[in-house]
Structure 1
Amino acid sequence: MKKHQITLLGGQILPVYWGVLEKQPDIVELIYTKETRLSVGAIKSQFKGIIFNTHQVDPYDYKGIKELIEEIVISNEVNQFQLNLTSGTKVMALACQSVFKTLELDVFYIDQNNRLFDLNKEEFTTLQSNLSIKTLIELSGHQNYSAVKLSDFSKKEIELSKRVLEFTRNNSGLTALFGEVRKKYNKEVRNKFTKIEDLKSFSIKTSNAIVSWNSPSLKIIFNNSKIECSSEKAFKIIFGGLWWEILIAETTQKWSKTKELLMSVSIQTKKDSGLTKNEIDVVLNTGQNFIFIECKSGNVLQEDINKIRAVKSLYGGIGSKSILICRYVPRADLIEKCNDLGIEIFSYETSFNKNKGGKFTSFKSLDDINKKLDLLLNKMDL
């Protein structure tokens, strides 16, 4: 006797993946529509040992869908059947449920809290499987991406990031120097070096500071302070904002729920692997929930909010969360927009004007971030 699973493919692909992974059927009868046909290949590619029979339907043709399900079941009546009712349109779900209820067959549903609800037994069970970031990206239909791990950075580079944070906290003049370097970089070399990591030499002298960069040697003198580092990544770490991303990754790597963490995730377009479609600073994976983090060491811009919104929509689904972890509190209008879009804001700025309006979470120490993540995960599980 073979195990058949009828599953409805809608806008959310993850419930389909979870249903097949948890139940491990021999054959999947995948019911999809013209609008969801592009996701068929992505889901099939994840299960090499399972047979997929695919059926395109009109999402609002109740009678036609019901007749299709009856035909599938009757043609394989000696086999065991189960129905994943999570995705698809309501009409698709009602048509399938009508057949399964009449024949008293197994029906289940997967909710946004990663629980599987058995409609016949009327009970919840927690999903036992885990999902990798690689699989998450592939399910979105993208095969080409690049990323780095925290372990790709040396202790020296992590310590450099910590020094930068201390200097920015102590009114040392380093924050002002960021602006001077950025201004000269944008004016003189940005067109030639679109990626800051490709820049092998750079120098600037201001009234209060001197910057000398000859890869891998970086020397900065400002207001009687000095930073020296020998690393090919040193210039990008300090003046490309990578220092903040490294510190956020180092902190969240220690979070008790973190099973996998990737940094600087660059997802290429489906048609041209040389073109970047989306970039994500940090992706946290708890095994079943994904948290996308945008790290901003400078002022938050409108484009940052749009970027975070697109990432969650394309890759995360309802079981994910987007967070903006910023050095400074954003403008009131950007806070309001984040609130409207369900984007969490964690701000490191220790003194702020409460009259800015909107909701955001402040933290005084990087170690506080993981406590905030615990509270956030609890909210997601409600």
Structure 2
Amino acid sequence: MTKRILVTWYGITDLSAAMGVVKSGPVFDALRRGDYQAAIILCYTDPEKVDVDIQSGIDFSPADVRRIANSQAAHAYFKRQLEVSLASENVTVQLRTYSAKLAHLNDTQGIFKAAAFALKMARGEYSGSGVDVFLSPGTPAMAFTWGMAALVNKRQDIRAIASSDPTKPPVVVDFPSEMRSAEAWVDAPSVIDNMTSYDIIYHLFGEQRIPAGIVLREFDCRHHVFVTDRKFQSKVMRQLLQPKGRKEDLFINPFDPKSVEAAIVSHARKQSSGTRFGFNLTGGTKLMYTGGLAAAMTIGGIPFYLDGRHQTIVRVDTWETIPYKGLRDVEDYLLLSGLTIRESGSWDLLPCRSLRLAQTRKLWSLRSKIAKIYRQVSEYNDEPRSFSIKAKGVEAALSKAMDGVLRFDGLQLDFPNQSDFAKYVSGGWLEEYVYDLIRSLIGTSVSDVKIGARVQWPGTNQDAQEFDVLATNGNRLFIVECKAGAVKNEDIYKLQQNVRSYGGVEAYGILAAAFPPSPSVRRRIESDRRLALACGNKLQSELIAALSAKD
């Protein structure tokens, strides 16, 4: 039997596997079983990434993958390593890679043009061989294009495949029959003109809560249906509903597009005539995306997804886009964590913060001196009581009346009536300094910032986490850990855990340190694509850069 041809994009996981950062990638997993005679691999190329070099003989980190990804050098390296890996499995397959310069990852016109080129080559140069288009690598827009190609060209033995388990071979995707009328549907899209106003929105719902949260906050809709696996129930989303809003869960098999389509259509047909339907395709698996799109075709609603990188809503049937504001309040992210907010993190919760702001700003230039007394002062953190501590060039004292004073070689800073003076001196001052810097960016890089927010486990008085500083730009949560003294590896571990636990997949951690950390700590931060460092004399500029980061 003639072997088939695989046509696919390769993605960041494939490159990470080639560089030894992860064990394996979907393209290698699809080819390693020897089912294909050739693979045509499309490579997204960022036109701004030129002169990228790859050193050999070193252990790569996730930061190295990000640095070289989407460059010509990365494409060449990926192909060489894929050839080596396949040879080690005694698999012979012809690899053909082609650069596709896209304006961005969801450049639908560029994606369609590249896909058409790859399919034309597969049919023309491998006549008589069936073609498999691989949905798993790449973005939903890429998967959608392959899916449409497979449907339109089904008679030419072009099928779509997908992989949900790396230990098993990819499976053929059996698309719902409604998707076979894709061309007619695109020519005559839904009559609903308002992209953000509906009677019912169906959300593909999985691990990511933020996209659904954005839609709940920003769209005019009171009835939300979460299409999900039973392990991802949407109870937490209730807190973001509009007044008199309602929600329900619709349970499906996330790896069976027909199951998704059937469940949505059955639910929709029970609604009254003239109901305006929207379909949020942003969450869930790519096979859920396929089923949700089929349901939209059947029902006549508007399918859309959120492009987080560009903060736009993309209407899938017409590819129209409109901007969205996102979750503008830090509190929304905390609500979506499923925990109870104990303290919202308002600056005004402690009036003394504003009273000592001028002193806080002065302490930045005096940080080397005040650091000498952190340890001694911290012994008074838990219980306000008077103290007097001296070191070379610095003195801190708190009277019984809770009046504090700091002296630096003739300079005196007064802090009247401040019972938290010990906590402030032993490091709290940096949290307030960083908050002040970020607050100045509201309206440009960020939309909201909080200090000292605390969340607790539901139904208990036990704190789950206290945050130094939190900020958002509407699209992601920034978790800022402030270290006025030495930075330890456990500080980075804590920040990584918080980034994983709060704010979804787009959450970003920033270590704001008064002094540059050790080389080992710096390397650990650089190895994590979701962390950034702002420290020492560059704290302000690096903080601004981290808060403006798109990736």
* TM-score normalised by length of structure 2: 0.57
Compare 18-27 and 329-338 and name the one that shifted more: 18-27
- My pick for the range that moved more, 40-49 or 96-105, is 96-105
Q: 1:252 and 1:207 mapped to 2: Cα distance?
A: 32
Q: Kindly tell me: are residues 202 and 58 of structure 1, through their superposed partners in 2, closer, same or farther at Cα, counting changes over 3 Å?
A: farther
* Correspondence for 2:455: 267
Residue 386 (structure 2) pairs with residue 201 (structure 1): yes
Q: 1:376 to 1:57 in 2, by over 3 A?
A: same
Alignment partners' CA distance in 1, 2:433 and 2:507: 22
Q: Does the 8 Å contact 1:197/1:233 carry over to 2? A: no
The residue type paired with residue 44 of structure 1 is R
Q: How much has 1:68 moved relative to structure 2?
A: 1.2
CA distance in structure 2 between the aligned counterparts of 1:282 and 1:59, rounded to whole angstroms? 37
Q: Matches of 2:359 and 2:262 in 1, distance apart?
A: 66
Deviations 1:81-123 (A, max 9, x none): 2211111122222222223235553210012232111001112
Alpha-carbon contact 2:407-2:413 (below 8 Å) kept: yes
Report if the CA contact (8 A) 2:328-2:448 is conserved: no
SS in structure 2 of the partner of residue 75 of structure 1: coil
Q: Does 1:167 align with 2:354?
A: no
Q: Give, in whole Å, the separation in 1 of the partners of 2:212 and 2:205.
A: 7
The answer to whether the 8 A contact 1:112-1:318 is kept is no
Higher relative contact order (CA 8 A, sep 6+): 1
- Alpha-carbon distance in 2 for matches of 1:235, 1:141: 33
- Once residues 478 and 456 of structure 2 are traced to their aligned partners in structure 1, the CA distance between those partners, rounded to angstroms, is 20
Report what 1:254 is aligned to.
440
Q: Is the CA contact (8 Å cut-off) linking 1:107 and 1:118 kept in structure 2? A: yes
Q: Does 2:222 match 1:23?
A: no
Q: What one-letter code is carried by the residue in structure 2 that aligns with 1:347?
A: C
In structure 2, give the amino acid aligned to 1:4. Answer: I
Secondary structure of the 1:325 match is strand
One of 314, 319, 327 as aligned partner of 1:117: 314
Query: Alignment partner for residue 299 of structure 1, among 474, 483, 486?
Result: 486
**Equivalent position of 1:242 in the other structure:** 428
Measure how far apart 1:297 and its partner are. Answer: 0.9
C-alpha distance in structure 1 between counterparts of 2:345 and 2:276, whole Å: 44
Aligned to 1:358: none
Closer/same/farther in 2, CA of residues 102 and 41 from structure 1, 3 Å limit: closer
1:131-210 aligned at under 5 Å gives the runs 131-151=328-348, 152-169=351-368, 173-182=369-378, 185=379, 196=381, 198-204=383-389
User: 1:235 Cα deviation (Å)?
Assistant: 2.2
Identity, % of aligned pairs?
A: 17
- Identify the residue that residue 323 of structure 1 maps to in structure 2: 510
Amino acid in structure 2 at the alignment position of 1:118: R
Superposed displacement of residue 210, structure 1 = 5.8
* TM-score, scaled relative to structure 1: 0.79
What is the distance in 2 between the residues matched to 1:220 and 1:127? 47
State whether structure 2 residue 262 is matched by structure 1 residue 74.
Answer: no
Q: How does 1:282-297 map to 2 (within 5 A)?
A: 282-297=469-484
Deviation at 1:220, TM superposition (A): 5.0
Q: Which amino acid in the other structure matches residue 259 of structure 1?
A: S
Q: Which amino acid aligns with 1:159?
A: A
Q: Residue 299 of structure 1: SS of its match in structure 2?
A: coil
Q: Which amino acid aligns with 2:312?
A: R
- Separation of aligned partners in 1, 2:218 and 2:396: 56
Write the distance in 1 (CA, Å) between the matches of 2:325 and 2:214: 10
Matched, 1:99 2:285: no
For residue 330 of structure 1, give the secondary structure of its aligned residue in structure 2: coil
> Following the alignment from structure 1 to structure 2, what is the Cα–Cα distance between the partners of residues 53 and 301?
45
Change (3 A) 1:160 1:121: same
Unaligned runs of at least 5 residues, structure 1: 190-195, 351-361
Q: Distance in 2 between matches of 1:207 and 1:13?
A: 52
Count of aligned positions: 345
- What is the aligned counterpart of 2:466 among 271, 279, 297? 279
> Closer, same or farther in 2 for the Cα pair 1:163/1:102, shift >3 Å?
closer
Aligned to 2:495: 308
Once the two structures are TM-superposed, the CA of residue 15 in structure 1 deviates from its matched residue by 0.9
SS in structure 1 of the partner of residue 215 of structure 2: helix
Displacement of 1:315 in angstroms is 2.3
Relative distance call for 1:147 and 1:200 in structure 2 (3 A) is: farther
- The answer to whether the Cα contact below 8 Å between 1:9 and 1:32 also exists between their aligned partners in 2 is yes
Unaligned runs of 5+ in 2: 1-191, 193-197
Moved more, 198-207 or 248-257: 198-207
Distance in 2 between residues matched to 1:156 and 1:53, nearest whole Å: 48
Tell me, yes or no, if the aligned pair for 1:282 and 1:293 is still in contact at 8 Å: yes
Equivalent in the alignment of 2:79: none
Q: State the alpha-carbon separation in 2 of the partners of residues 377 and 225 from structure 1.
A: 34
**Aligned 8 A contact 1:157 1:234 in 2:** no
Paired residue type of 1:43 = M
Question: SS at 2:527's partner residue?
Answer: helix
Task: Tell me by how many angstroms 1:300 deviates.
Answer: 1.1
Deviation at 1:319, TM superposition (A): 3.9
1:23 & 1:237 partners in 2: Cα distance? Answer: 42
Letter of the 1:95 counterpart = G
Shift of 1:253: 1.1
Could you tell me which amino acid in structure 2 is paired with residue 41 of structure 1?
K
- Once the two structures are superposed, residues 323-344 of structure 1 have per-residue CA deviations (whole angstroms, 9 ceiling, x without a partner) of 1111111122222221222201
Aligned position for 1:42: 236
- The whole-number CA distance in structure 1 between the counterparts of 2:546 and 2:375 is 34
Moved more, 117-126 or 129-138: 129-138
Are the equivalent residues in 1 in contact too, given 2:377–2:422 (CA < 8 A)?
no
